[in-house]
Amino acid sequence: MSSFDLSGKVAVVTGANTGIGQGIAVALAEAGADIAAVGRSRAEDTATKVRALGRKCELIDADLSSIAPVEGIVSHVVDSLGSLDILVNNAGIIRREDSLDFTEADWDAVMDTNLKVLFFLCQAAARHMVGWSNQSGRRGKIINIASMLSFQGGIRVPSYTASKSGVAGLTKLLANEWAPRGINVNAIAPGYIATNNTAALQDDEDRNRQILERIPEGRWGDPQDIGGAAVFLSSNAADYVQGHILAVDGGWLAR
């Protein structure tokens, strides 16, 4: 059996209805995992793709702007799919405004979804995983979706940059705490990926040209590019990878 094989594993993916979340859910299903697609928009299209691969897909409605649904998500997944082996914290939002004019509401909205709820989902999943991890080599895997703005400042996105820097730091802390408990905690930092989130940039001819000139690979990333990294970090091949922030950015940060 390939060390990348995820057969028999159950993966929770937040924000799986579209974009990077859908790319990750389909890639994990291709590798053999059953999927719980969690979000406020029902991931019917993702479920169709996952089921076409012969895998189960449970749809869980949850607004991840607060921690209220977190405990229920984990118990629902374990009840309906029998386990929770992999958590991918993908759901995220962005607000753009000059820092001089940035509002408390926009600060709180981004920090709550991108960082606070992400932490409590990690906690709830890890409390389940420590019940069985380290038994016969079985390990829990947590993957947080960070950003290039986990490493760089950006502009006019103060809460987003703070939240994604926080995701990187938190990922390292949780890896420190939970590695001895048989859980791997890592993050993926996507570069410019073509999704609804970045549609305005792709449609702006000048900005799009500047972006493409700056990316060594010379193209926008595809959600499947992130899916491949998620399969690796979810698999036994990554059992010795801890607290790593894996840039999948076509070389952007190398420049």
Q: List interacting residues with ligand NDP (CB under 6 A).
A: 15, 17-21, 39-41, 63-65, 90-93, 113, 145, 147, 190, 192-193, 195-198
What H or E segment, with its residue span, contains residue 87?
Answer: strand 86-89
Burial 215-231 (b: 16+ CB within 10 A, else e): beeeebbebebbbbbbb
Query: Is the CB of residue 186 less than 8 Å from the CB of residue 244?
Result: yes
Query: Is the CB of residue 74 less than 8 Å from the CB of residue 93?
Result: no
Closest to ligand NDP by CB, 44 or 239: 44
- Local structure of 80: helix, strand or coil: helix
Q: Give me the least distance between CB of 239 and ligand NDP, in Å please.
A: 25
Q: Give me the least distance between CB of 131 and ligand NDP, in Å please.
A: 26
Q: Give me the least distance between CB of 26 and ligand NDP, in Å please.
A: 13
If one counts every other C-beta atom within 10 angstroms of the C-beta of residue 153, the result is: 9
Specify whether 160 is catalytic.
yes
Considering 119, 150, 160, 227, which one is annotated as catalytic? 160
Closest to ligand NDP by CB, 178 or 220: 220
Beta carbons within 8 Å of 237's beta carbon, 6+ residues apart: 3, 4
Closest to ligand NDP by CB, 90 or 234: 90
Q: How far lies 38's CA from each of 89, 196, 216, in Å?
A: 10, 18, 34
Beta carbons within 8 Å of 125's beta carbon, 6+ residues apart: 12, 74, 84, 87, 140, 142
Closest to ligand NDP by CB, 123 or 202: 202
Contacts of 103-107 with CB under 8 Å at 24 or more apart are 106/159, 107/158, 107/159
Closest to ligand NDP by CB, 159 or 198: 198
Q: Give me the least distance between CB of 12 and ligand NDP, in Å please.
A: 12
Query: Is the CB of residue 26 less than 8 Å from the CB of residue 54?
Result: no
Q: Give me the least distance between CB of 117 and ligand NDP, in Å please.
A: 8
**Which residues are catalytically annotated?**
160
